[in-house]
Structure 1
Amino acid sequence: MEVVILPDSKQIAALAADTVEALLRRRPDAVLGLGTGPSVRPLFDELTRRHVEDGLDFGQVTVFVPDEYLGLPAGHPESSRHSLARDFTGSVGISPANVRAPDGTAADIPAACRDYDEAIRAAGGVDLQILGVGTDGHLGFNEPGSSLASRTRIKSLVEQTRRDSARLFGGLSEVPQHVLTQGLGTILDARHVILLATGAQKAQTVRDLAEGPVTAICPASVLQLHRHATVLLDEAAASSLRLADYYRHSYEMKLPWQGL
């Protein structure tokens, strides 16, 4: 795991966008895994700017959305697919046909989860997965206690996660109790995972996932086992790290050809 500490979310977005752009220049038909939420929106804004101003082409890209609320139709304003279209894919020319999310409206949920994982395999796997992290360490919607080897499946949301989403749904009672989510094992299959975290409220979580034990109580700690995981942090999110000075030094000393 590589930990990179930068001054603010703008610089985090720029560095992550450089990585996405380098991938697309090398492989225009890349497969991206894209989470939703406030942590990734600055990155989406920067990629959209590069698309509009610099011609960065997303026309051949395939996107896998890592999670979806159970029972929400695709057009619901807070469905993951709709949120991603609103915040990013609809602005950069990615066809809706090239965006795949777990089907939270399926009659047979276990089969829908298997179909989703099979679709990832059929696409050749995810080249680059970009995710945020919850204050309780959840990754995707793998809540604390999730199996570190899990595949896409249905999960019950903890009350804190539902409370965090209540303002988007117009009240806690409107937030679904269940989601479909890529499992931690599914996430680990991606060739490169970038995790974005900003703000002091994420500081303890970041310390747990980067420097604590690999444990189901902090699902994001499973990224310590990934062969190519990058954690991009602002100074506030990095404020509890014991090895922060080492991470800064290591990034400053990287050779020009290494990239992320």
Structure 2
Amino acid sequence: MTKEPFPHGTTVVKIGGSTLGEHDTTITDLVELQKEGLNPVVVHGGGKVITDWMAKQGVRPVFEDGLRVTDSESLKIVVAVLAGLVNKELVGSLEGAGGRAIGVSGADGGILKATIKNPDLGYVGSVSSVDPRPILAILAEGCIPVIAPVAINWSEDPEQRGTLLNVNADTVAGEIAMALNAERLVFLTDVEGVLDRSKRVIPRLTRRQAAQLMGSNVIAGGMIPKIEACLHALQDGSVSQIIDGRNTGALRQSLNGIPIGTRIG
């Protein structure tokens, strides 16, 4: 996978779909941090909005191991919501708060290429390559890249190649952090962090502890791809953190070294 050196202070921030309705301080934090010289790269989900639009179309959502099963009809909704509505609303919010942002999907400029992850999941992709150049170009213009997790299907089947795939946003954040050698990967979620069996936040996890907790089903569901993405990004020495994005100033606190949520690595 192609790697590029990122400018000093770059952080990949994954904004969860379930926190998008309460992200006012995150938007402000991102704009202020950009003005202070940080280079934020935003990857967003949109799960709740997708589910709402699927309901309007009479489509029932199905999940397996935290991943949305995506048939051909669901894919149309997923792409429209992620690359359209959610992406542009985030860009608008950042611009409205005084920042500069450019919204793209992983399909734009061939940023993300993927293949079918598992036929049982439908049109869900497993990332096969990341091209960081379009992201670097956006950063070079002094803008915040806002990336929707849609990839180009790079199938060996010529009839399938060039179609679109839904990719888990947590996975995309980890892949981008690794490919661009980002200093930090932060997940903004609707939970306080990784919880133990007693539902208490685990302040720090090693790679081995994270693997053990997944093996014993303490870490399950939608938290699995987040942990896997953190572990993947850690291969390049990035600091990974899972925090509650609903809390005022959570992102800034995380970047200032205040111990909140769960730090991995």
The verdict on a shared fold, with TM-score over 0.5 as the criterion, is no
For the superposition of Structure 1 and Structure 2, which TM-score range results when normalised by the shorter chain?
0.3 to 0.5
TM-score after normalising by structure 2: 0.37
TM-score after normalising by structure 1: 0.38
